[in-house]
Structure 1
């Protein structure tokens, strides 16, 4: 008896085989036992066969495994006939129709057909990247303005000639000169397009986008406050407005040069309150050791926060490696015309028709430096020249 005859016998007993999927294991077993007397002399266990047809394992549970087309073919009587030499034909053909097609697993590239389709695992949490924790802006005073330009006097030169007065002679004269400086209020902004449906369905995503956009703007803001080029519509950064520092000793290391920059500022009667370094220069300082191999700036087990000569240091990649800025932060100010804001709008281009939204992050600010001598900028470490390897004579 082939599979078609068995299937027909089963259908005559309890209806179409596909209906067995809705029956319990006990119901199927009971009906198969009633069918046993009807089919005699077959070398097959009807209980096992019925369970397989109904998608049940021996323990009565549903099985989701389906044969691939290849597996179905090699199990067919037509193939077995050729394999055993019992067929006069050199070909074996198997036709799959109706429910038989549904029972065969699909073929999908190199994926195991018995494992397809497999639902993907969804990770709902969005993990943000690392972020900067020290900002140059936070080391300076903050102010508010309602104008688009800050004008202020900056001391240009000072001659302080206080002295004794001899009776009958003129008293000593000093002189101070100023020049007017301008700090334009500039706009920093960027935007991104996002799907309205995605933002509605995943509120966490909108929060993440807003946070990342704000962070991106702060990175640009910090870079401009430190190293803005002063072009039209740009911030004139601290580096461009600082007095130049030139090392006086070739043997000075980073810490030595930072201390000498502090001394240069103190000579102008300002008090250094901030140091800005490149993170790689700070790392080089942390690796400094004594002749006995002991770390001088903390240790791997007890690291110290960025601080030199009792003043705070900010480590940022906006500072060119091998250079530093030292200054009296009280002699500069960041002016806010428009605080950092986040706006979401559908009224941008064809957003309404495309179900998109534009997320805009923007701010307006300016920077004033009241005394050029209050800041010093220059090299803090000499360049390392790779050793030259002598060529071996042949």
Structure 2
């Protein structure tokens, strides 16, 4: 029933109600009952009409889908006349205006309404695994407005304070300094994205920004630890730390870390952290005594990552089989520009292609005030005499 029929039915009904005053009570009750039944039918028809306009069926999915050209053709009067035994030898249908808009392409598979079951759309994106240990969080931070941080650093000297006897010269100490430099470098990356997608799915833009920021921090983490100090690169902690080689002995990796701490303490610094590869930390956690009991907690009650009253940071930025320990107060991360996210259409032909460029970058530097405050080396110890045997073998082969 369309809106014209509904209007006509209502006019007829209300016209009958106006004439009710000239009728008996029984006639009025009968007509009111009939009116109620008709109104109920009208309600059902209106609901059905609204559902059709909304494209909803009784089972809660779209049923008012667009017809394909083939379906529209076989339902046309021209086709029915041709197959109904008429004189017409052919049938022709012309699609124009709104008719053309209402017809789907000939390939039914691209019509989403063709699926018997509506797809289960899950808009949330599940992010892959991400590192949760950051080297820069172990170190104090500062800010700078320059592209180079220059600072004096003690190079060496002799501290020889001593007694002074009557008439003798007092002892003279000597301190030597050098000017060290920490270049402020840029870490950045970018990607192209569709403007329409970002406009239509705000969550996707937020996800991209998060992942891009994570990429910058991962590179930052690795460079603060292992940077080679080349031009435009960070001079990382490992590259500046004093090399440590454990003396020959029956040492395990936990022993080696303690000896490395002692090497730092020998220069009057207090180690505050150690960095290990997660696989090396797992090896330490799995250590057992002769009875087979775990030394560091149990699988049901693992201990916090600490050794020798010192926090252990495990990150895959640290090469396996190596460690770093040191006094965090003797280093500083300088921020010239914090992690920054920019989105621009003014990049090459982005405007014409409806694309945007997402750029994430930061500028920072690292200074180490005393290289002796950090120690790095291998977690394993060569067997006693192994170097001698190797040298002897090399000699005999030459």
Report SS of the residue matched to 1:132.
coil
2:250 maps to which residue?
251
Which residue is equivalent to 1:231?
Answer: 230
The corresponding residue for 2:241 is: 242
Determine the structure 2 residue equivalent to 1:344.
Answer: 343
Residue by residue, what CA displacement relative to the aligned partner does 1:215-241 show, whole Å, maximum 9, x if unpaired? 111000010000101000100000111
Aligned to 2:310: 311
- Residue 107 of structure 1: CA displacement? 11
**Per-residue deviation, 1:118:** 5.3
How much does 1:347 deviate?
0.8
- Quick one: distance in 2 between partners of 1:234 and 1:242? 17
Whether the 8 Å contact between 1:197 and 1:355 is mirrored in structure 2 is: yes
Which residue number in structure 2 is paired with residue 159 of structure 1?
158
Q: Which runs of 4+ in 1 moved over 6 A?
A: none
Confirm or deny: 8 A CA contact 1:322 1:382 kept in the other structure: no
Q: CA deviation digits over 1:8-40, x for unaligned, max 9? A: xxxxxxxxxxxxxxxxxxxxxxxxxxxxxxxxx
Deviates more, 1:242-251 or 1:284-293: 242-251
The alignment partner of 2:196 has SS state of: helix
**Could you say which residue in structure 2 is the equivalent of 1:357?**
356
Match of 1:218 in 2: 217
Q: Which residue does 2:197 correspond to in 1?
A: 198
**SS of match in other structure, 2:289:** coil
CA–CA distance in 2 between the matches of 1:383 and 1:126? 48
TM-score scaled by structure 2? 0.67
Offset from partner CA, 1:332-370 (integer Å, 9 cap, x none): 000000011111111111111111111110000000000
C-alpha distance in 2 between matches for 1:256 and 1:262 = 10
1:297-344 Cα offsets, whole Å, 9 max, x none, are 121111122211111111111111111000000000000000111111
Residues 145-186 of structure 1, C-alpha deviations (whole Å, 9 max, x = no match)? 001100011111121111111111111111110111110000
The alignment partner of 2:182 has SS state of: strand
Structure 1 runs not aligned, ≥5 long: 1-61, 63-96, 99-105, 109-114, 385-394
Pairwise CA RMSD: 2.4
TM-score (norm 1): 0.67
Aligned to 2:277: 278
What SS does structure 1 have at the residue aligned with 2:269? coil
Q: Give the secondary structure class of the aligned counterpart of 2:297.
A: coil
Check if 1:381 corresponds to 2:366: no
Deviates more, 1:142-151 or 1:158-167: 158-167
Structure 1 or 2: more helix by fraction? 2
Q: In 2, Cα distance between the equivalents of 1:250 and 1:355? A: 66
User: Which residues of 2 match residues 1-394 of structure 1 at below 5 A?
Assistant: 119-382=118-381
SS in 1 for 2:211: helix
**1:143 Cα deviation from its structure 2 partner:** 0.3
**SS of residue paired to 1:130:** coil
Separation in 1 of the partners of 2:350 and 2:161?
A: 70
Partner SS state of residue 298, structure 2: coil
Deviation at 1:201, TM superposition (A): 1.1
**Partner of 1:248: helix, strand, or coil?**
coil
Are the counterparts in 2 of residues 191 and 361 from structure 1 also a CA contact under 8 Å?
yes
| d(CA) in 2 for partners of 1:134, 1:368 | 20
**Contact preservation (8 Å) 2:323, 2:378:** yes
What secondary structure is seen at the aligned counterpart in 2 of 1:261?
Answer: helix
CA contact (8 A) 2:248 2:382 kept: no
